[in-house]
Amino acid sequence: MNHQPFETWLLEEQTITPEQKRVLQSHLQVCKYCTALYETGAALQSKQMASPAPGFTVRFKKRLAVQRLAARRHKFWGLIVLILGALVLLFGLAGSTVLSIVNSPAEWLTLGIGYLLFIITSLQAFTEFGLVLLRVAPSFIPPLGWMVIGSAVAGLSLLWTVSIWRFTRLPRGV
């Protein structure tokens, strides 16, 4: 059974014409669903709305302030633990290198040049690999495959953007 105009008339608090009232009354005599909806609405309208206990807003604001302060403390201590953990990890991994730098400037200079050469040669190798891949890949992948790859990259980018937005959004107050 179609309940559409009757549900709208019963749920929205607007005046209806006498013709609509007559049609609604005749529908209520045959439809149990709409009759229950009408009776529920009438029961809800007849009840008086409860008012909050005295001082509710003051207590709510105090509790909200306490919760915000606790959240701020939690974030602060979490940041402290994160920084300390990162420093312990950094010094644990780079401790021997730092000691060799302090003990001998020649080793520091050799180590620095070695890292610099490693980075430069790695970048050159990745560049050559990328160029070869760009020359060879178009002949192996059909245009439909490129469309699928492009769509997947676009979808993942959208997902990444939405997740960054969701996690960095500040919650609004009450």
CA distance 155 to 18: 54
- The tokens describing 10, both together, are 């019963």
Q: Find tokens 């709305």 and name the residue.
A: 49
Q: Is the pLDDT confidence value at 1 over 70?
A: no
- The tokens describing 56, both together, are 């509710």
pLDDT band at 2 (very low <50, low <70, confident <90, very high): low
Q: Is the pLDDT confidence value at 13 over 80?
A: no
pLDDT at 122: 96
Listed in sequence order, the residues at least 6 apart from 27 whose beta carbon sits closer than 8 Å to its beta carbon are 6, 34
pLDDT at 173: 55
Per-residue pLDDT of 20-55, as tens digits, reads 888 888 888 888 888 888 888 878 777 777 788 888
Q: What is the full DSSP assignment across 14-72?
A: ----HHHHHHHHHHHHH-HHHHHHHHHHHHHHHSPPPPPPTTHHHHHHHHHHHHHHHHH
Which amino acid, residue 18?
A: P
Q: Is the pLDDT confidence value at 56 over 60?
A: yes
* Domains in the chain: boundaries: 4-46, 65-103, 106-140, 141-174
CA distance 103 to 121: 28
Mean of the pLDDT values across residues 139-154? Answer: 91
pLDDT at 36: 85
**How far from chain centre, in Å, is Cα 60?**
27
- Are 3 and 34 spatial neighbours (Cβ–Cβ below 8 Å)? yes
Per-residue pLDDT of 69-120, as tens digits, reads 999 999 999 999 999 999 998 888 887 777 766 777 777 788 789 999 999 9
pLDDT at 101: 66
- The tokens describing 100, both together, are 């060799």
CA distance 156 to 52: 48
pLDDT at 123: 97
- The residue with greater pLDDT, 61 or 34, is 61
- Are 6 and 24 spatial neighbours (Cβ–Cβ below 8 Å)? yes
pLDDT at 156: 97
pLDDT at 72: 94
Given CA atoms 86, 88, 89, 91 in this order, what sign does their dihedral have? positive
pLDDT at 95: 77
